[in-house]
Structure 1
Amino acid sequence: MGKTSNRQVRRIIVSGYYGFNNSGDEAVLKSILNALHAEGEAHGITIEPVVLSADPAWTTKMYGVEAVPRMSPSVLLREIRRCDGLISGGGSLLQDATGWKTIPYYTGVLSLAQMLGKPTFIYSQGVGPVNRGWLFAPIRRVMNKSKYISVRDAESAALLGRIGVAQERVEIVPDPVMGLPLPAGADEVSTKPPSGDALPVVGVSLRHWRKDGADLERAASALAALAKRRAVRFRFLPFHMPDDAATSQIVIDKMRMLGLGESSAELASPGDDPQQMLLEVSRCDMMFGMRLHALIYAANQRVPLIGLSYDPKINQFLNRLGLTPIGTTEQLDPVQFAASADSLLSDLEGWRTRHGEAIDRLKRESQRPAQQIAALLSQTMKR
């Protein structure tokens, strides 16, 4: 343990789905790094993060922090031995919907840190779905040995309770991205589209989910129905490159075949920086989102939103705002969507008034895990 500017340094590994060019997960990382820096300062310590990344060079360039390969056993062992603790999260790390290997990897990293006597912290994770019963044991083991546990929704906490994690040890907090600020200087000028005769901007964030593409057909029909009801400017925002860009182009082509009337559709290219994507979202009048972090970005910037559910985490986030999905990847009524979106675009300020208090609360509470972790690290040093 060293000193920098008379502050004691704590070297903390951050484990998550980082370096994969997914804007949502990169926003999680950026939000965690920001919060750790601020709370470390508030507690009189310097928290020095080391990120486990699929692309360490890119992560270091993007965030100015040390990053190392996430899949190298020798690197993991070396870095954990050198660290003062390990953070796992945020994001949906402990789930098997995307395959059975995800949970063994993240619990394995936690187990290694715990075996080496390092404190571990669970940072605003979404837990589940877990459909393979044999995966409950490793989750229970690493959770019960962690110094601090926070999850991003009540459903995650309930699942941990069912598999044997004491509920009083689990704190429910918002997704870290609720606390992500706009890039420096962006809040000094208006980020909203100019008023007057400009068309309202409808942000769209879709992902490929069903193999047969039926969900994308339904989304295209719904958006085309809105275009025929009123003139808008659809701006597609790809959160995971290059997949979301290809998906967006498919939907745009289908919408054009169905007819856009006086409306237009375009594909944005915000680049890799999650704060630039947040800025893009802030410039929308409304967001239609399938990606969880598209909806979180919109709430962060008080952009009225409509969610399309493909996973329980979408419903859980919308719930916290007092909302429900407009449909799912299995069912989406174009007429109902067009009517709802038209109504929302006609009463944007009313939506902000109705949901502003919930948004403010989520933004405040998003800092809670970093506050708790910094406090625990500073207490450790005082002993």
Structure 2
Amino acid sequence: MKFVISGFYGLGNTGDEAILEAIIDNLRTNFDNPEITVFSLSPEKTAKEHNVKSVYRAWRRENKEKVRELKSADLLISGGGGLLQDTYPTKFLFGPLPYYLLIVLLAKLCGTKVMFFSQGVGPVNSGWGKFLMKLANLADFITVRDEYSKELLHKLGVKKPQTVVTSDIVFAFQPKEDRACVESLGLKGDERLIAVSVRPWLGRTKQFEQMAVILDQLIEKTGFTPVFVPMEGHHDEKASKDVMAHMKHADKCLLLGNDFTPNQYLQFIGQCKMTIGMRLHALIFSTLMGVPHIGLSYDKKVESLLKRNGMWEVSSVLEEVDEQVLVENAMKILDNHNHYATIVKTNAEELKKEALKNIELLKEKFARD
């Protein structure tokens, strides 16, 4: 079969690149010699990293190539990840929401079937965004990564295609042994590590001060070494430095480089005793590797994950963070590590089964005889 994959690819976001790698690896595991084309903002890089064909994703060039690839494809895979949302500005045909839906419309005009794949949906709050979402009814089949996304789709009037709740396809990521992150830090070998993931969010900065308080207290109480994991390049690198600027013990923290692969970050998080983080896929990586974690939920997608993997009781909504409570929760996790690791590992197995269901349903609905 021939697949075209459309998503937030080639822009340096570790979570989205992990999604792409998981989709490609699982297509190759389940289909004989699939032909794969990826719409990417860095097509040469994407083609080289994944041994696929890649076309420039934006509208400013290679539009004939997009049409040609879609016309010859058996299926457009739209996803996964949080593509269908208007958190970022949506102006007429500019912004994530119109882009991904127009790709779907173009695929249908080319006579190609469409699957929304392991999607996280929302928020969609603008009137124009809600109107555009009606185009999602063009899809032939939809899987979403949480119940909230399914409910929101129905609320927005997307009812024509069947919608099935699965989980994020990254839970079906195929890890490869790689110690590049650990080796880059020049560790002595006896350090006890806590992975930290922070991100910018709508101009809000209070979380940087709050994270600084939490990390300072954990350093004083436990002697653990916090290591910042920048999941989206220079954006998260700056956010990490903003946290350290508020810390008393910033000299006891480490910051990973921002150019490692998703698999390398995944393997590093697996070396840590705990993760404290905002980024959804830092928490998904932690779940995959059986690492207990505290999430700071800035979005429903993060809350949904934490409820499914058993870590919600020790986590917090971003706007309701109480530093002392989270320090106590972190101490509880470190003191009862095996208990929490077992919870995470058990739920990870179920989430992996749900992630693989995305591929199983794709085969069931679209595989040629």
| Alignment TM-score > 0.5, same fold | yes
- Residue 209, structure 1, aligned to residue 209, structure 2: no
- Residue 224, structure 1, aligned to residue 216, structure 2: yes
Partner of 2:123: 129
Q: Distance in 1 between matches of 2:163 and 2:282?
A: 26
- Residue 358, structure 1, aligned to residue 347, structure 2: yes
Partner of 2:360: 371
- Residue 338, structure 1, aligned to residue 327, structure 2: yes
How far the C-alpha of 1:146 sits from its partner, in A, is: 1.8
Partner of 1:88: 78
Any conservation in 1 of the 2:19–2:81 contact (CA below 8 Å)?
Answer: yes
Task: Give secondary structure in 2 for the equivalent of 1:369.
Answer: helix
Any conservation in 1 of the 2:177–2:267 contact (CA below 8 Å)?
Answer: no
How far the C-alpha of 1:339 sits from its partner, in A, is: 1.1
Partner of 1:38: 29
**Aligned structure 1 segments of 4 or more residues deviating by more than 4 angstroms:** none
Task: Give secondary structure in 2 for the equivalent of 1:59.
Answer: helix
Partner of 1:60: 47
The one-character-per-residue Cα deviations of 1:126-182 (angstroms, maximum 9, x if unpaired) are 01000013323432333x332221000000000111122338811111101111122
Partner of 1:4: none
| Amino acid in structure 2 at the alignment position of 1:223 | L
Partner of 1:295: 283
Q: Distance in 1 between matches of 2:285 and 2:347?
A: 14
- Residue 347, structure 1, aligned to residue 347, structure 2: no
Partner of 1:150: 143
Q: 1:106 aligns with which of 100, 104, 119?
A: 100
How far the C-alpha of 1:185 sits from its partner, in A, is: 7.1
Q: Distance in 2 between matches of 1:284 and 1:321?
A: 18
Question: Unpaired runs of 5+ in structure 2?
Answer: 184-188
Q: Distance in 2 between matches of 1:220 and 1:103?
A: 34
How far the C-alpha of 1:21 sits from its partner, in A, is: 0.6
Q: 2:295 aligns with which of 307, 310, 320?
A: 307
The one-character-per-residue Cα deviations of 1:224-261 (angstroms, maximum 9, x if unpaired) are 12222221111110000111112112212322xx246x
Partner of 2:153: 160
Partner of 1:179: 172
Partner of 1:5: none
Task: Give secondary structure in 1 for the equivalent of 2:272.
Answer: coil
Count of aligned pairs between the two proteins: 355
Any conservation in 2 of the 1:208–1:216 contact (CA below 8 Å)?
Answer: no
How far the C-alpha of 1:210 sits from its partner, in A, is: 4.8
| Amino acid in structure 2 at the alignment position of 1:107 | L
| Amino acid in structure 1 at the alignment position of 2:334 | L
Q: 1:169 aligns with which of 155, 162, 166?
A: 162
Q: Distance in 1 between matches of 2:73 and 2:218?
A: 53
- Residue 138, structure 1, aligned to residue 139, structure 2: no
Q: Distance in 2 between matches of 1:326 and 1:367?
A: 27
Any conservation in 1 of the 2:139–2:161 contact (CA below 8 Å)?
Answer: no
How far the C-alpha of 1:68 sits from its partner, in A, is: 0.7
Partner of 2:186: none
Task: Give secondary structure in 1 for the equivalent of 2:88.
Answer: coil
> Residues 59, 168 of structure 1: CA spacing in aligned structure 2 closer, same or farther, 3 A cutoff?
closer
| Amino acid in structure 1 at the alignment position of 2:243 | V
How far the C-alpha of 1:212 sits from its partner, in A, is: 5.2
Task: Give secondary structure in 1 for the equivalent of 2:266.
Answer: helix
Any conservation in 1 of the 2:3–2:35 contact (CA below 8 Å)?
Answer: yes
Q: Distance in 2 between matches of 1:167 and 1:299?
A: 34
RMSD: 2.3
Task: Give secondary structure in 2 for the equivalent of 1:366.
Answer: helix
Q: 1:18 aligns with which of 9, 27, 32?
A: 9
Q: Distance in 2 between matches of 1:308 and 1:62?
A: 32
Q: Distance in 2 between matches of 1:168 and 1:212?
A: 37
Any conservation in 2 of the 1:94–1:106 contact (CA below 8 Å)?
Answer: yes
| Amino acid in structure 2 at the alignment position of 1:245 | E
How far the C-alpha of 1:284 sits from its partner, in A, is: 0.8
Partner of 1:241: 233
> Residues 141, 33 of structure 1: CA spacing in aligned structure 2 closer, same or farther, 3 A cutoff?
same
The one-character-per-residue Cα deviations of 1:192-241 (angstroms, maximum 9, x if unpaired) are xxxxx934210001001252522211111121122222211111100001
Partner of 1:120: 114
> Residues 212, 122 of structure 1: CA spacing in aligned structure 2 closer, same or farther, 3 A cutoff?
closer
Q: TM-score, normalised by structure 2?
A: 0.90
How far the C-alpha of 1:111 sits from its partner, in A, is: 0.6
> Residues 87, 214 of structure 1: CA spacing in aligned structure 2 closer, same or farther, 3 A cutoff?
same
1:242-321 alignment runs, 5 A limit: 242-255=234-247, 258-259=248-249, 264-269=252-257, 271-321=259-309
Q: Distance in 1 between matches of 2:160 and 2:330?
A: 39
| Amino acid in structure 2 at the alignment position of 1:54 | L
Task: Give secondary structure in 2 for the equivalent of 1:33.
Answer: helix
